[in-house]
Structure 1
């Protein structure tokens, strides 16, 4: 079943303000709204959940890179100290 979220629900899901959501939609970095009527729009819950999951994956990838870089720097420092 497809579920459509209105703006307050999207804000709760993402922690973003309405202003930031609309700016990101305009920039193409956030899911676009689905028209529901003349003046009503909503977002597909599945697209919002996917967007959040992508942010988590980016965070985890960045954290992994940081820890790997840290290990390399410590290894270089240890080699220099031993020399």
Structure 2
């Protein structure tokens, strides 16, 4: 989720500050809310959420192509 669309302005770091990297749905208290989630699972989740918001599925899938490049999955 783009941080500017996050109703909380981002997730929270371990010290309680707002994360500048991760949204509040994914990151709370300095840890990921679903630490074992794979890139593919995240892409499916995001695609389905965007479809619920009215985006066509093909467009929602297109928007998830960049997820593997996010810092969370860099290794």
Bigger relative contact order (CA 8 A; separation at least 6):
1
Q: Same fold (TM over 0.5)?
A: no
With normalisation by structure 2, the TM-score equals: 0.27
Higher strand share: 1
**Bigger Rg over Cα:** 1
TM-score with structure 1 setting the length: 0.25
